[in-house]
A = this chain, B = another copy of it.
Amino acid sequence: MIDRLVIVGLGLIGGSLARALKKQGAVGEVVGTGRREASLIRGQELGVIDRWTLDLGEAVKDADMVVIAAPTLAAEKVLESLKPHMRPDLIVTDVASVKGSLVAAAERIFGEVPPQFVPGHPIAGSEQSGVEAAKDDLYVGHRVILTPLPNTDAKACEKVRTMWEATGAEVVDMDVAEHDVVLAATSHLPHVLAYGLVDALAQSGSAQAIFRFAAGGFRDFTRIASSDPVMWHDIVRANRNAVLESMDTFTEHLAELRKAIESDDSGAILATFERAKKARDEQFLTQYQVKGKGQ
């Protein structure tokens, strides 16, 4: 039970967390804060939060837990604003898509990463955004990754885990660097490829014809290119090294496939396509059914 929870940056992610915890009776009061007054007003109207303030210091006074529900680069700024208000008994966690850059920022800001800061990342999202889209079952059956550091307080970690488990999520611990490498491969790279492909086609001479004759496969493949450009720009910058590495691995692989196609190496082309289909079908049609959308 969290007596007083503060959500910094009230949108789909923070709002859905608040709704889920309220539904489960896992939270007393939820206080909203952030820069967008309209979201906070709307959040209170909708019953997502109980009250709000634009003053971060006032928001976290007497709070047990602060969830920084802001995108990657914005989260760094929130950590900075939080500095004068930090208390040993105030647990802080976040939802940013890149963990290495935020941990580095915490180290820079605080000298060392505060033991009561538990970096986290719920692997959930939606094409929708904003507090209006918040729903109490967003995290059911989804995974939340926590990346505690050697000096992270075990009790703080446990409280963050308990909070997420109350939403119906499965909580998994991971190393900071491993998190960023895995997410680069499964999320950041696909976004870069989708944005890159659509932009390449849009700039080609036959863009009109190309889009006109695109069918459902193309629509699915490029859906993530309709994601928020600012958010993904932040993510790619924050996770630069892992993103570049995943791009290089992919590009090398694609060059091999290109060679096979150019030399009409039927066996190599078929083997690649068959391995891919097998891997995807195995992962998505059986054991690792994941319900998440976006991010």
Contacts and interface: CB of A to CB of B under 8 A. Distances in A.
Contacts of A224: 217, 220-221
A215 B195 contact: no
Interface stretch (A48-56, A105-113, A196-204): A196-204
Interface in A227-281: 227-230, 232-233, 236-237, 240, 243-244, 247, 249-251, 253-255, 257-258, 261-262, 264, 266, 269-270, 272-277, 279-281
Contacts of A288: 211-212, 214
A185 interface: yes
Interface string A140-174: 00110100000000000000000000000000000
Interface size classification for chain A: 35 or more
B290 A225 contact: no
Contacts of A240: 261-262, 264
Interface stretch (A24-32, A58-66, A175-183): A175-183
A38 interface: no
Most buried by B among A123, A186, A236, A290: A186
A214 B170 CA distance: 14
A269 B236 contact: yes
Most buried by B among A124, A202, A218, A258: A218
A294 interface: yes
A269 to B, nearest CB: 5
A202 B185 CA distance: 11
Contacts of A276: 194-199, 202, 225, 229
Most buried by B among A190, A225, A227, A273: A273
Contacts of A218: 186-187, 190
Contact of A214 (B186, B216, B257, B266): B186
Given A186-B201, A221-B194, A254 B251 contact: yes
A258 B249 contact: no
A147 B259 CA distance: 30
A216 B292 contact: yes
A90 interface: no
Which 4 pairs from chain A and chain B are nearest by CB?
A216-B293, A215-B292, A229-B273, A202-B279
